[in-house]
Amino acid sequence: SDRINIAIDGPAGAGKSTVARMVAGQLGYVYIDTGAMYRAVTLSAQRLSITAEQEQRLSDMLHSLRIDLEPGVSGQSIFVNGEDVTQLIRSREVTRQVSYFAASAVVRKVLSGMQRNMAGRKGVVMDGRDIGTHVLPDAELKIFLTASVKERALRRFKELPADQSVPLEQLEKEIAERDALDEQREISPLVRAKDAIELDSSHMTIEEVVGSIVKLSRTKL
Ligand code: C5P
C-alpha cells in the first residue's frame, strides 16, 4: 500500500501534537489528536457536573456526544455537537481533571472505537498515550516520544499567555502528576509499545524530530 498509519505516544508535553501535525503535513496525511477527544469529554462532563466515577451518567453522555475533528488554521479544531471547543478544552480546569476521566472504562471504550474508525483508511498520524499499544496495535510505524519533566514543563511555561502565567515548579508538579496517573491506570496505561521506536526530544529541535519520523515512515512503505 502507499499509505501507512503512524502512532505517536508519550507523556504530556513531549511535543507529540506539534510533531504529529507537522509529520502529517509533510506526508499529506490526516492528523488526529486523541488527547483533544479526552479533553472534550472532560469539558462536557464538567458542564453537566458528572464525575469520573459516575459510569452510567458518563455512558449516557457519551452516547449523545458527536465529536468532530477538523483541520483548522493553526492546528486542529474540535467540535462537540457542533460547538467549537478548541480553546475551551485547553483550560487548566480541564487539564487538571482529564486524566481521571481518561481512566474510565466507558470513556476509553467509546473514544478508542471512534479513533479506530478514523484510521480505517490509512494515512493517519495519531497521537496519544495508548495508540501503539491499544488503539492501533497494527500501525506500521510507532514512535514513543519523550523528554525530561524539566524540559516539558519549560516548553509549557513558554507557551502560556502572560495573563495565565503559572510558576515553572507548579507546572513541573502538574506534569509529573498527570504522567503518574496516566502510567498507573489499569486500562491502557501509558507505556511504550514493544515495537515502538523511542525518541528523546530533550535535546532535539522540532524539525529534527519531524525529519527523523518522516524518514522512518519511508522505510515502512
Ligand atoms: O495529549 P494531551 O495532553 O492533550 O492529553 C490529555 C490527557 O488525555 C492525557 O493526560 C491522558 O490522561 C488522556 N489521554 C489518554 N489516551 C490518549 C490520549 C490522551 O488517556 N490516547
User: How far away, in angstroms, is 10 Cα from ligand 1 center?
Assistant: 9
Binding residues for ATP: 10-18
113: Cβ–Cβ under 8 A, 6 or more apart, which residues? Answer: none
Q: Which of 9, 94, 98 to mutate to test the pocket of ligand 1 (most atoms within 8 A of CB)?
A: 98
- Phi–psi pair at 181, nearest 5 degrees: -60, -45
pLDDT at residue 74 in the model: 72
Give residue 205 CA to ligand 1 midpoint distance, Å: 23
182 CA from centroid of ligand 1 (Å): 8
pLDDT tens by residue, 149-191: 999 999 989 888 888 889 999 999 999 999 999 999 999 999 9
Q: What is the 3-state secondary structure (H, E, C) of the chain?
A: CCCCEEEEECCCCCCHHHHHHHHHHHHCCEEEEHHHHHHHHHHHHHHCCCCCCCHHHHHHHHHCCCEEEEEECCEEEEEECCEECCCHHHCHHHHHHHHHHCCCHHHHHHHHHHHHHHCCCCCEEEEECCHHHHHCCCCCEEEEEECCHHHHHHHHHHHCCHHHCCCHHHHHHHHHHHHHHHHHCCCCCCCCCCCCEEEECCCCCHHHHHHHHHHHHHCCC
Task: Select from 194, 187, 154 the least CA-distant residue to 170.
Answer: 154
123 phi/psi in degrees, rounded to 5? 75, 35
Residues 6+ apart with CB under 8 A from 128: 7, 8, 9, 16, 33, 34, 35, 115, 135
ipTM of the complex: 0.99
Ligand 1 pocket: which residues have CB below 6 Å?
A: 12, 34-35, 38-39, 98-99, 102, 128-131, 178, 182
Cα Rg of the chain, angstroms: 17
Using the atom order of ligand 1, give the atom closest to the CA of residue 38.
8
With a CB cutoff of 8 Å and minimum separation 6, the contacts of 87 are none
Around Cβ 63, how many Cβ atoms within 10 Å? 9
Q: How far is the CA of 102 from the centre of ligand 1 (A)?
A: 7
Q: What is the mean pLDDT of residues 124-132?
A: 98
**Residue whose CA lies nearest to ligand 1 atom number 11:** 99
Q: Residues comprising the binding site?
A: 10-18
**Atom 2 (ligand 1) nearest CA:** 35
Reported as a single tens digit per residue, the pLDDT across 42-84 is 999 999 999 999 999 999 999 999 999 998 767 789 999 999 9
Span 3-19, average pLDDT: 95
d(CA 45, CA 88): 13
Measured in Å, residue 38 CA sits from the centre of ligand 1 at: 6
Mutation test residue for ligand 1: of 129, 131, 155, 188, the one with most atoms within 8 Å of CB: 129
Q: If we measure between CA atoms, which residue out of 194, 191, 220 comes closest to residue 6? A: 220
Nearest atom within ligand 1 for CA of residue 99: 12
Would you say the pTM of this structure is higher than 0.90?
yes
pLDDT in tens, 198-215: 999 999 999 999 999 999
